[in-house]
Amino acid sequence: MPKEAPRRFDPPAFLDDFDKIPGQLEAWSNAVSGWFDEAIASEKDNLHPGDTCQYYNQVTEPRPEPKLDQEIVWNAFPKTLRMIYGAKAYEVADQVYPLSKNPDLDPPAFFTGPEWNKLYFRPTDEYCEWRVTTDEQRRIIRVTFTSEPPEYWMALHGDKLQDIQGNPTYDMPGDKKLLVHLYRTLVDPRVKLEDLECPYDFFDEQSKSVIYPKGTYNPYNKWNSTHGIMHLGQPNSTLTAEVQIGADATILRVDDAGNPVTLAEPLVCGAAFGGPNRTSDPTIGSSVNDIARLGAYVTIKNPVGLYMDSIDLAGFETPAGKPVTADYFKIVRGREGMIERAVFEVPKGEKFTVSDLRIGGKPIRFGGHVAEHVKIKFTGEACAIGHFHNTPVPIVAKCCAGGTHPMVLSRPIGIKKPCAAGYQAAFTRGGTPQARRGTAAPFAALMVARAAEPERIPTVHHARHRVR
């Protein structure tokens, strides 16, 4: 059946917390709608003169039916950590780190200044984070997962949500009592409101700006870092980043020989969006770009979010050699296919722990051993295949590789800017970033069949919240 355009943008996974707050649903929809409009406007200078952005706001500008969904799925365990640390990546991923020290290496720190030495985050950058709970014998008894965006919890606190550029713009009514109640229910009954708020201005010395003013919601509060977990805390894992990446990925790119740039990492580097070492951003970018090259309108399916899709329990066994069943992985918030919070633990009544389970015959020693079997999902939506005939534009950036970790890509830099000493441009052949000729991805081809029925580098979007 044809899909009707939503009358508003719903909260992630259709969560019902906002239902209890007068005006909150409308305010949330206004913010998400604003993010789409801002992202679309930001692509104006990236397009070939006379072309129109293929990204659209489905609430304010509904497009023709039928609409086709594309589920884009990747692994929850960070590819970046695996490339840098090898087998030690499991240990690294289970820990928290001060925001003044980034184990991903690039950037070496998210913020600078003394307060950031005392504020912690998890270095898991695939839009899924987890916390391991152990007993007195240090055996794992629970792994709690979340894919909830920080903006949702800032909205519950009643802060102004930022626009795409990080400016406080969208008023949210909020309900601080409900915020505390949810923390007490989901994390710890000892949570107090003052635990969740910034006790003073959090000032970043490098940018010379206040990132989180005194009294606003603190996404790095102890109950979401050192003492618990509620939502995503990796600074780049935000809804605004997701919306912007979707827009950036609709721009068609070619190398200096005119060949289409379509492979995931070369596209992210050449267009300068997202994190090139992640699995998520390159996968999202290349998949959306496949659809854009078919001339379709493209957007993110409502409700906008990144979700845990499922867990693959194949190979999981109990100490007795029996298969681990679905009741070990409980959805706490969200729903099947749109999981925002989940817990992996041994059902009550059993006399063993998560550490006693085996995966492929090997014991579980870290939360990451479970996480690498969790699938994360982004759902794009497209319509009107063949409507657009946009002219591809040249790539504007490149990534460099080399040094101690030659497989790890640098952040994108201007296409004419030299790489640092000891590094060289990645994906090059004779100085030209490699491209791929040929047809779009198999799913995109399926969509076509169903439808028959001065040097400038764009801003690389890293969501550092500034709330006033």
CB distance 433 to 398 below 8 Å? yes
What's the mean pLDDT in 243-256?
96
pLDDT at 335 over 90: yes
Sheet arrangement for strand 316-317: 316-317, 358-359, 362-363
Proportion of the chain above pLDDT 70, given as a percent? 90
pLDDT at 231 over 80: yes
pLDDT at 464 over 50: no
What's the mean pLDDT in 329-342?
98
What's the mean pLDDT in 405-424?
93
pLDDT at 384 over 90: yes
What's the mean pLDDT in 257-273?
94
pLDDT at 451 over 90: no
Model confidence at 441, pLDDT cuts 50, 70, 90, reads very low
Look at residue 337 in the predicted model and tell me its pLDDT: 96
Q: How far is CA 210 from CA 196, 203, 368, 466, in A?
A: 17, 4, 34, 7
- Arithmetic mean of pLDDT over the chain: 91
CA dist., res. 21 & res. 328, Å (int): 33
Look at residue 64 in the predicted model and tell me its pLDDT: 83
pLDDT at 219 over 80: yes
What's the mean pLDDT in 264-272?
95
pLDDT at 457 over 50: no
Sign of CA dihedral 260, 463, 80, 116: positive
* Six token digits for residue 162: 């930022």
pLDDT at 17 over 60: yes
DSSP state of 304: P
CB distance 415 to 396 below 8 Å? yes
pLDDT at 454 over 50: no
pLDDT at 46 over 80: yes
User: Which residues lie closer than 8 Å to 394 by C-beta, 6 or more apart?
Assistant: 253, 254, 255, 256
Least confident of 104-113, 217-226, 238-247, 434-443: 434-443
Pick the closest to residue 380 from 259, 268, 250 (CA basis). 250
Least confident of 62-71, 120-129, 130-139, 449-458: 449-458
pLDDT at 85 over 80: yes
Q: Per residue in 163-205, pLDDT tens?
A: 999 999 999 999 999 999 999 999 999 999 999 999 999 999 9
pLDDT at 455 over 50: no
Pick the closest to residue 256 from 48, 426, 415 (CA basis). 415
What's the mean pLDDT in 142-159?
98
Least confident of 311-325, 356-370, 424-438: 424-438
pLDDT at 101 over 90: yes
DSSP 231-278: S--STT--HHHHHHHHHHTTS-EE-TTS-B--SHHHHHHHHT-S-TT-
Look at residue 4 in the predicted model and tell me its pLDDT: 66
pLDDT at 42 over 90: yes
What's the mean pLDDT in 74-98?
97
Model confidence at 432, pLDDT cuts 50, 70, 90, reads very low
* C-alpha neighbours within 13 Å on the C-beta side of residue 220: 25
Model confidence at 5, pLDDT cuts 50, 70, 90, reads low
**Residue 129 pairs with which residues in a beta bridge?**
146
Look at residue 443 in the predicted model and tell me its pLDDT: 36
Look at residue 106 in the predicted model and tell me its pLDDT: 82
pTM: 0.91
Q: Give the Cα-Cα-Cα angle 219, 223, 228 (nearest 5 degrees).
A: 115
pLDDT at 58 over 70: yes
Give the H or E element holding residue 68: strand 68-75
pLDDT at 458 over 60: no
Helices (H) and strands (E) in the chain, counts: 10, 25
DSSP state of 79: H
Look at residue 429 in the predicted model and tell me its pLDDT: 54
Residue with tokens 């923390």: 183
